[in-house]
A and B are shown apart, each in its own frame.
Chain A
Amino acid sequence: MSDAKVFILVTHADGKADDSAFELAAASGRLFPGASTTALVVGSGVDAVCQEVATVFGEVWKFDQAALAYPNAELLRPLLVKVLPAGSRVLLAHNTFGLDLGPGLSVKLGAAYVPDVVGAEGLDGATLKVIRQEFAGQVSAHVACDISKGAVVSVRPGAFKPEPSGATGGPVVDRSTEATGLSARRSFVEVISAEAGDIDITKEDVLVSVGRGIGEQENLALVEALAEAMGAGLSCSRPIVDAKWLEKPRQVGTSGQTVKPKVYLALGISGSFQHMGGIKGNPFMIAVNKNPKAPIFQVASVGVVADLLELVPALTEKIKKGK
C-alpha cells in the first residue's frame, strides 16, 4: 500500500503558498516514503500558488472558483469528500485552518485522524507510526494508527524541515469545474486585522518576555523594572494576554506577533510550540522557569531553574549597579 497517493492541502494567502506547504512535502516523504504526492490548491486566482508548489509535488490539482475566495473549511470539506478517492491519505498543517477542517474531514472520509504530528516513525503495512506531544510538550508519545481506511494527518508547523525536492515540476491539473454547487451553513464575513497601536515588539533587538510563571498581576512590575534596566522591549506569552494583564500587541506567538530579536529572555514561559512559532531569527535565548521539565529548556541557549520573584529583582539590581 506504500504506493497509495498522498494528498497535501496547501494553505496560502495573497497569492503565496504558506511555508507549511513545503514542510508538508518533506513530511510526506518521511511518513509515506516513495508515495506520489498531489497538492490540492483551493481558492480564487490561485495560478501563482499552483506554479509555486508544483516544484515540490508530483502534481497539483487546482480548484479555482470565486466562491472559494476565502478558505471556509465548511465549504472545502464537502469538496474534498467529493474528489478524494476512498482510502486517501491527506496531509494538512496543524494551523488554524487545519484545526477547522481536519477532524470533520476524517469523519466524512471514514479515515483515521492523527492530529499535531511532530515526527515519523515508519509505515508498517496499514499501521502508521508517528510521534506526538502531550501535556503542553512536557512528554512525547509514540502513536500507532490504523490507516487501512485512509488517514487525515495534521502536521505541526515547523516540525519537518523543507528538503530540496527531487521533483522537476509536476503538472497542474485544473479541476475547478468540480468545485461548483457547494454550500455551507457557515459564511465568511470579514477578517479583522490585529490592532496596531503604538506598541511594536517586532522591531526590538532585545525582548524580556513574561509568561504564566509570574503568578500574579502585581509581580509584573518586577519584570517591567528589569526590561527598563536592560533597555529592552516587554513582551509576553498568551496566558498574560488572556488574563488581560498586558495588551494583545505584546503577545509573541502564532496567534500574536512574530519577533526577530537578537536576545530573548523568557521568564516563566513553558515554551508551547504556538509561542515558539512566533520567534524567528534564532536569537540568543535565556529561559528562566521553576519547572525543570518545561519544554523551553530544549530550545533555549541557556536555562535557569529558579523562582522569578527572587532572580528577577536580583538581576535588575546587578544591572543597575553595573551601569
Chain B
Amino acid sequence: MDILVCVKRVPDSAENEISVAAGGADIHRDDLVYSVNEWDNYAVEEAIQITERLGGTVTVVSLGDSEAEEVVRREMAMGAGQGLLLVDGAFTGSDGLGIATILKAAVQKGRYDLILTGAQADDGGGQVGGMLAALLDWPFASLVNRIDVNEGKPLRIGREIEGGAQEVSDIETPCVLSIQTGINEPRYVGIRGIRKVASVEIPVLDATALGVETASVGSAGAKVRRVDYFVPVAGAGAEMLTGSTDELAGKLLDLLKAKGGIK
C-alpha cells in the first residue's frame, strides 16, 4: 500500500505561551518552539506500521516555507522513505480550501492508495482532509483511531465519536483518513535517526511544477481570511492566587476544606 501523509510544522501549543504581536497582525514568533503537528505524528506512525506489516511506501508531504523541511526530515527519520515539499510564495495566505487544492495537485503527481492527515492542527479547523477527499472525489473519514487492512477488501476503520465510543465502518480505497491522537504510540526519533536521512534528497515543487493556478490559492483565492489575532476579554476569569509554594498550598487547603473538597 502506497501512503501519503500530510504534515504541518506548527508552534507547539503545549510548550509555548502564545501571545498576540504587532497589534494583532500575528503572534509573537520569536522564541517559539516549533515541532510537527501532534496529530500528524500519529498519522506518520500509522502509515509506517501499515507498510511494515504489508509492504508499500510512505511519503511525507508538507506545504510551507523552507523550514518545513526540518519537520519532513524528522518524520522521514521515523521510517518514511520519501519526502515532498510544496513551496511557493503564492501559497501564502491560503485558506483550508487553498491548502487542499495544492495537496490535490501533489496527490495527482503520484500514485497513492491512502492519504492520511492529522485530525486537526494549530488553527483547530480540522478541514483539510475532508476537503482534499472531496476535491479528489475519494471517500473520507475523520477522527480515525483504528485502521485494519485486509488485502483486496475495503479498510475497516474506527472513528472516535462522543462519549468514548468507536464507530466502525468499512471504507473503499483510495480514500482519505484524518487521524486522531492515541491510535498508536509514535516511535521516538533520535539525533542519529535524523542524521541518517540528512542527505536524502527531498523534491521541492512550486505552483508551476504542480500545475496549480495561483489565483485559486494563497490570499488571492482565499474565501476565508484571518483579520487579526486578539486576546478575548475574559468573563470574570479565575481569581489568581500568589505566594510561595507553602503559602499557595495553605490557601488551596483552606479553599478545598471550605468547598468540601477534602473528605
Q: Which of A267-304 contact B (CB under 8 A)?
A: 270, 284, 286-287, 291-293, 296-304
Decide yes or no whether A69 CB sits under 8 A from chain B. no
Picked from A107, A138, A140, A141, the residue with its CB within 8 Å of the CB of B97 is A107
With an 8 Å Cβ cutoff, the count of chain B residues facing the other chain is: 86
9 more CB-based (< 8 A) A-B contacts, given A192-B168, A193-B163: A95-B162, A96-B167, A103-B96, A144-B227, A230-B261, A232-B261, A258-B163, A299-B235, A300-B238
Is A298 within 8 A of B237, CB to CB?
yes
CA distance A72 to B159 in the complex (A): 12
**Bound: A275/B221 CA distance, A:** 35
Contact in complex: B27, A99 (CB < 8 Å): no
The distance in angstroms between the C-alpha atoms of A103 and B132, with both chains bound, is 9
Query: Which residue of chain A has the shortest Cβ distance to B130 in the bound complex?
Result: A103
Query: Of residues 1 to 35 in B, which have CB atoms within 8 Å of A's CB atoms?
Result: 11, 13-14, 16-20, 27
Instruction: Evaluate contact between B14 and A304: CB separation under 8 angstroms.
Output: no
Supposing A135-B11, A139-B27 touch, asked if A311 and B245 sit within 8 A by C-beta, the answer is yes
**Alpha-carbon separation in the docked complex, A193 to B163 (Å):** 8
Please name the residue on chain B nearest to A101 by beta carbon.
B130
Cα(A292)–Cα(B241), bound, Å: 12
Q: Could you say which residues of chain A place their CB within 8 Å of the CB of B203?
A: none
Selected interface stretch from B62-70, B169-177, B189-197: B169-177
A189 touches B169 (CB 8 A): yes
Within 8 A of A (CB), among B208-253: 223-232, 234-235, 237-241, 245-246, 248-250, 252-253
Closest to B180 in A: A255
B201 within 8 A of A: no
Number of A-B contacts (CB under 8 A): 283
Chain A residues lying within 8 Å of B138, measured Cβ to Cβ, are: 185
Asked whether B123 is an interface residue with its Cβ less than 8 Å from the other chain, the reply is: yes
Interface residue? B143 (CB, 8 A):
yes
A192-B131 contact given A143-B224, A231-B263, A298-B235, CB 8 Å threshold: no
Chain A residue numbers with a CB within 8 Å of B158 are: 192
Query: Are the CB atoms of B143 and A238 closer together than 8 Å?
Result: no
Q: B169 — which chain A residues lie within 8 A by C-beta?
A: 72, 186-189
**Residue B255, interface by CB 8 Å:** yes
> B60 in the interface, Cβ–Cβ < 8 Å?
no
- Identity of the chain B residue whose Cβ is nearest the Cβ of A264 in the assembled complex: B261
Q: Which residues of B contact A190 (CB under 8 A)?
A: 168
Q: Which residues of A contact B43 (CB under 8 A)?
A: none
Docked-complex contact A135 and B240, CB < 8 angstroms: no
Q: How far is the CB of A199 from chain B (nearest CB, A)?
A: 12
Residue pair A103, B129 in contact (C-beta under 8 Å):
yes
Binds B, one of A36-44, A53-61, A108-116: A108-116
Give which listed residue, B20, B125, B224, contacts A112 with CB less than 8 A.
Answer: B224
| B19 lies within 8 A of A145 (CB) | no
**Chain B residues within an 8 Å CB radius of A301:** 238-239
Contact B134 A108 (CB under 8 A): yes
Taking the complex as formed, is B127 at the interface, i.e. its CB lies under 8 A from any CB of chain A? yes
The interface on chain A, measured as residues whose beta carbon lies within 8 A of the other chain's beta carbons, has a size of 102
Q: A255-B164, A270-B14, A291-B17 are in contact. Are A113 and B224 (CB under 8 A)?
A: yes
In the complex, A262 has a CB within 8 A of chain B:
yes
Complex Cα spacing A299 to B238, Å: 6
Q: Nearest Cβ distance between residue B153 and chain A, in whole angstroms?
A: 12
A169 to chain B, nearest CB (A): 29
Q: Which residue of B lies closest to A189 (CB)?
A: B168
Residue B82 CB within 8 A of the other chain: no
Binding-face segment, A26-34, A82-90, A171-179, A241-249: A241-249
A-B contact list, 26 entries, CB within 8 Å: A96-B167, A99-B178, A103-B131, A104-B140, A107-B135, A116-B125, A133-B124, A135-B18, A138-B13, A143-B224, A186-B140, A188-B169, A189-B169, A192-B165, A194-B165, A239-B181, A243-B185, A244-B185, A257-B164, A262-B261, A284-B259, A298-B232, A299-B235, A302-B240, A302-B255, A310-B245
B49 within 8 A of A: no
B260 interface residue (CB < 8 Å to A): yes
Q: For B170, list chain A residues within 8 Å (CB).
A: 186-187, 189
Is the Cβ of B18 less than 8 Å from the Cβ of A292?
no
Minimum Cβ distance to chain B for residue A226 (Å): 10
Q: For the complex, is A6 an interface residue (Cβ under 8 Å from B)? A: no
- How many angstroms from the CA of A230 to the CA of B241 in the assembled complex? 20
A68 at the interface (CB under 8 A from B): no
Cβ of B224: which chain A residues have Cβ within 8 Å of it? Answer: 112-114, 143-146
Given A100-B141, A184-B139, A241-B182, A135 contacting B172 (CB threshold 8 A): no
Interface assignment of B56: CB less than 8 Å from any CB of chain A: no
Q: Does A263 contact B (CB under 8 A)?
A: yes
B94 on interface, CB distance cutoff 8 Å? no
Q: Which residues of B contact A255 (CB under 8 A)?
A: 160-164
Contact code string A131-167 (vs B, CB < 8 Å = 1, else 0): 1111110111111111101000000000000000000
Q: Which of B225, B232, B240, B263 contacts A143 (CB 8 A)?
A: B225
Q: What is the minimal beta-carbon distance from B103 to any residue of chain A, in angstroms?
A: 13
* A125 interface residue per 8 A CB criterion: no
